[in-house]
Amino acid sequence: MLVRALAFVLALACTTLPALAQEYTIRLSHGDNETNPTHITALKFKELVDKYSDGKIAVQIFPANQLGSEEEVIRAVRNNTIQAQIPAMANVHPVAPSVGVLLLPYLFSNSEEAHAGLDALLPALNEHVTKEAGIRFVGILEKGFRVLTNSKRAVETIDDLKGLKIRVPPNEISIKTFRSWGVEPVPMGWAEVFTALQQGVIDGQENPYTTAVTSKFYEIQKYITEVHYQIWTGPLLISEAFYQKLSPELQDAVDRAGLEAVQVGREANAEQTAEAMAFLKEHGMTLSGAPQDEEKWREAARGIWGDFYANVGGEEWANQAIKIVEDAVASK
């Protein structure tokens, strides 16, 4: 009887102790589905935060815009109503101009360059975004080039873009880049894109291959062009107000977990991208590769970098950030 009672008390202690030890909860929101590398990053972050904080911080994940659109959630993170988010960098830009340097068209040539540049830039970026928006990046996910999909025709040259209604994230750099190619894009929040494509309000959009699969764009889009103008980057960001409540040890746990989690997400993305291309072909999409006149696209978009400096936190910061990126790429 006594042994049974002791076993009961022990079992109770085992189930309640972690709950007693838990001091903080991070609610983490993102806009993708549960097979997307964004979600894989979120799961790894949860696991590692639990491990490195010895169970003192719990992470709850809310995928697929459950807590609101990326624009709504970032406002909530700034107020610490929601503590963490993995949005597209393009959707962070409106509240934190300095991240715009990562959206400069044709900044990175491939994912390896992007990883070196993003990791090197993290401390300097945090000096800016903590002040601009009350948010902090603990790592930056990368999901390959944003490729153009549409339902009307194969886009093989810059002239083929004419007349297409292409949705872009609502930030100045994406908008002006498309204008440099001679079209007026349609800025729109991410949460509305699938329905707008389905209803023909827009003809196309641009996001990575993996997103075309996980968001089921192959059901409503026909053509893909590999425009290499921007690599999808998205910070694993947390509320600065929340971060400042943590002890230095717990801050370190969150920082380590973030850096390692985005690394896992990047690897998942590399694996999934090749699979996504095959899947999209099997599901009837036409993959045209890069535009035949890619140099024209590149020249037009890079030709207006100077116009963007005011949108990315000023020329001094832009030059400093570009140099950090270039040095990191060169020393790889």
Judged by CB, which is closer to ligand MLT: 70, or 255? 70
Judged by CB, which is closer to ligand MLT: 53, or 85? 85
CA pair distance 221, 293, nearest whole angstrom: 23
Among 87, 97, 204, 313, binds ligand MLT (CB under 6 A): 87
168 - beta bridge partners? 187
Stretch that binds ligand MLT, among 84-92, 107-115, 154-162, 279-287 (CB under 6 A): 84-92
**Contact mark string toward ligand MLT, 29..48, x via CB under 6 A:** --xx----------------
Q: In angstroms, give the least distance from the CB of 217 to ligand MLT.
A: 11
CA atoms within 13 A on the CB side of 321: 29
Residue 139 interacts with ligand MLT (CB under 6 A): yes or no: no
Residue 211 interacts with ligand MLT (CB under 6 A): yes or no: yes
Judged by CB, which is closer to ligand MLT: 58, or 77? 77
Q: In angstroms, give the least distance from the CB of 31 to ligand MLT.
A: 5
Residue 207 interacts with ligand MLT (CB under 6 A): yes or no: yes
Judged by CB, which is closer to ligand MLT: 271, or 315? 271
| Tokens matching residue 106 | 């044709």
Q: In angstroms, give the least distance from the CB of 210 to ligand MLT.
A: 9
Among 41, 91, 225, 311, binds ligand MLT (CB under 6 A): 91
Judged by CB, which is closer to ligand MLT: 88, or 122? 88
Integer CA distances (angstroms), 31 to 211, 237, 257, 326, in order: 11, 14, 21, 31
CA pair distance 224, 95, nearest whole angstrom: 30
Among 52, 178, 190, 317, binds ligand MLT (CB under 6 A): 190
Judged by CB, which is closer to ligand MLT: 170, or 329? 170
Residue list 260-319, contact with ligand MLT (CB under 6 A): none
Q: In angstroms, give the least distance from the CB of 183 to ligand MLT.
A: 17
Contact set with ligand MLT (CB under 6 A): 31-32, 70, 87-88, 90-91, 169, 190, 207, 211, 232
